[in-house]
Structure 1
């Protein structure tokens, strides 16, 4: 009888484990994340001169343990949700890992290089306050050399060719251009600026390809002009049309750039995500997604909770799930989750030519 009971326990335990394995199946060997504060998971915590940090309350109030980790969110961000869907733990911040003795093992499943305040372009004064895209790719090159050294070139290339390389960046370039104290508008037209940024991004994707990357997820810029900080600049609290126009110019450049790069390189696959359109649906039909507040930040002070950033002295809304924005610039955990759902499983309306689930299977 004891043997039968033991067998039954073992049998059902095995079934449970199979279910867990199936539900949490690892779909890719690794995920490498590049970008700005929308996907930063703590790199800026290690930049002494950076003012763009989120390692204090009330950031992280809905993160496991109610801990402020450096994510510009009340909880998880898009990098976390994407990793969950890939069956991976959220890749750790590169600056937290690169000095660890066991970093080679950590690199196997990916690293996050994203940095709050980062752009495709960053001036010399920004280099100590954020990690611009080019520097993020420089850091990846270090990871690549480590993987080749430890796995051998063939195995490293095989692993990286199946990994997902995600780039979510560009909003800071848009906001920098339309800033009242910016000289960028005097040196280039909006279209010239968009073209130059797209060309620069193309250069960095090519560098990543030279170091093993084959599957890219590239997000367009959302409606940056509709974040609370930009609405606050208008007496009517409407979206900043100049910022949104520049975002759309850049996004319009991305699709042909990616198509051309695929033709040139021949062995890459990609998923372009139309974050702008998804974000617009939040603002136009908020009830569909459970939102009741689309203009004001959840955490902050003053008009739209946007006169003072999210700080320990700020107020925060009791129900974060009904707000699109967490603070002056960033989406709530709820909004980030919906955005990532559309990125991963979205239709051709929002993803082109494939969504991320389909990209994984290529």
Structure 2
């Protein structure tokens, strides 16, 4: 619930109006606009949850990951340094939220919950089927279940009304769908008979996602940054089987179809929930520009991964036995599927300050100012 305008200083009103017009200026934080950041999704925003899954092999807690992270530590981020969750938090004036599974033994978890938590898990997807074996990761449904436990703790500590106000002034970040598409493409290539036609797959996936977003709304989420899937067929892992190492058109088409369906679904939610606000980032368009015109964005290499082995360093993931490049800021891809810290930084700047060409219907800075 918004504070009455008469209770705000005139300066703050003018400042908020300026933010709405221009977005947050570089280097200026929005600490009074965002109380907490709650992160959901996959390896693009995982900051170490998978480290706490005993049987999971979907981990990045080994070198050379984190070589450019403060202290040179491999924290569980699938990156040479920081990832999207870190940069979004920094842009809105918050510390990067800790992984939820790291807080199990924390005595005063509610104090941590108040500034934000990261539920994201590498390898996960919208569908439980995407990570079914051995609890390899946390599917979105389970991430939301953990968040419901967090909300319950906030209600017990603050009361229902104050907890609701806190969540209204918080920001929710969701990066999901990549692994669902990767798994579908793999099933098609292996000739599985049980898989649905592609558009039926996309429709069912987005219908599942809609139900999960409505659940988040019921649990207090009001402001969402949704990061769409990129040109997944242009990841080094999906180039190496193609002549001339070209992007895989089928995988890219699925990614575009998914993004279109998600945008339509988010717009439909607006009509049903009057206080629901969102910002959709067209990752596909942004990353394709990095690939087609790398020099415009400060990159040199947009095909070959920085860390890995084999063709395009994409046959073997970024393992301790893998080679890694020295010019990491010049690469779009860190490993066979994940961006470098430099690419994450550029993308998050576009999420927060980009035009409607990239971020729809408003950008992240405008969203946090509402």
**Is the structural similarity TM-score above 0.5?**
yes
Query: How far did 1:194 drift?
Result: 0.8
Query: How far did 1:227 drift?
Result: 0.6
Quote the residue 1:17 is aligned against. Answer: none
Quote the residue 2:182 is aligned against. Answer: 175
RMSD: 1.4
| Residue 222 (1) aligns with residue 214 (2) | no
Which among 63, 72, 83 is matched to residue 77 of structure 1? 83
Quote the residue 2:369 is aligned against. Answer: 361
Provide Cα deviations, 1:234-290, integer angstroms capped at 9, x if missing partner: 232111111111001111101110111111122111101101000110011100111
Provide Cα deviations, 1:140-194, integer angstroms capped at 9, x if missing partner: 0000000000011110000101111111011101111111565667431111111
- Whether the 8 Å contact between 1:57 and 1:68 is mirrored in structure 2 is yes
Which among 132, 136, 156 is matched to residue 149 of structure 1? 156
- 2-structure distance, mates of 1:158, 1:256: 28
- Whether the 8 Å contact between 1:227 and 1:239 is mirrored in structure 2 is yes
- Give the structure with higher Rg (CA): 1
- Whether the 8 Å contact between 1:94 and 1:111 is mirrored in structure 2 is yes
Provide Cα deviations, 1:314-337, integer angstroms capped at 9, x if missing partner: 111101000000001100000000
Quote the residue 1:38 is aligned against. Answer: 44
- 1-structure distance, mates of 2:192, 2:198: 9
Instruction: Give the match's secondary structure for 1:297.
Output: coil
- Whether the 8 Å contact between 1:178 and 1:185 is mirrored in structure 2 is no
Alignment of 1:41-60 (within 5 A): 41-60=47-66
Quote the residue 1:306 is aligned against. Answer: 314
- 1-structure distance, mates of 2:45, 2:122: 8
- Whether the 8 Å contact between 2:56 and 2:134 is mirrored in structure 1 is no
Quote the residue 2:212 is aligned against. Answer: 204
Residue 147 to residue 254, structure 1, CA distance change in 2 (3 Å): same
- Whether the 8 Å contact between 1:176 and 1:182 is mirrored in structure 2 is no
Quote the residue 2:124 is aligned against. Answer: 118
- 2-structure distance, mates of 1:252, 1:311: 35
Provide the TM-score with structure 1 as the length reference: 0.92
Provide the TM-score with structure 2 as the length reference: 0.90
Residue 151 to residue 184, structure 1, CA distance change in 2 (3 Å): farther
- 1-structure distance, mates of 2:79, 2:138: 19
- 2-structure distance, mates of 1:315, 1:80: 25
- Whether the 8 Å contact between 1:93 and 1:113 is mirrored in structure 2 is yes
- 1-structure distance, mates of 2:48, 2:71: 16
After TM superposition, the structure 1 stretch with the greater mean CA deviation from structure 2, 185-194 or 103-112, is 185-194
**Structure 2 unaligned regions, length at least 5:** 1-26
Runs ≥4 residues deviating over 2 A: 22-25, 124-127, 180-187
Quote the residue 2:288 is aligned against. Answer: 280
Q: Count matched residues.
A: 341
- Whether the 8 Å contact between 1:223 and 1:280 is mirrored in structure 2 is yes
Quote the residue 2:247 is aligned against. Answer: 239
Quote the residue 1:10 is aligned against. Answer: none
Instruction: Give the match's secondary structure for 2:135.
Output: coil
- Whether the 8 Å contact between 1:177 and 1:184 is mirrored in structure 2 is no
| Residue 350 (1) aligns with residue 354 (2) | no
Quote the residue 2:265 is aligned against. Answer: 257
Query: How far did 1:102 drift?
Result: 1.4
Residue 152 to residue 184, structure 1, CA distance change in 2 (3 Å): farther
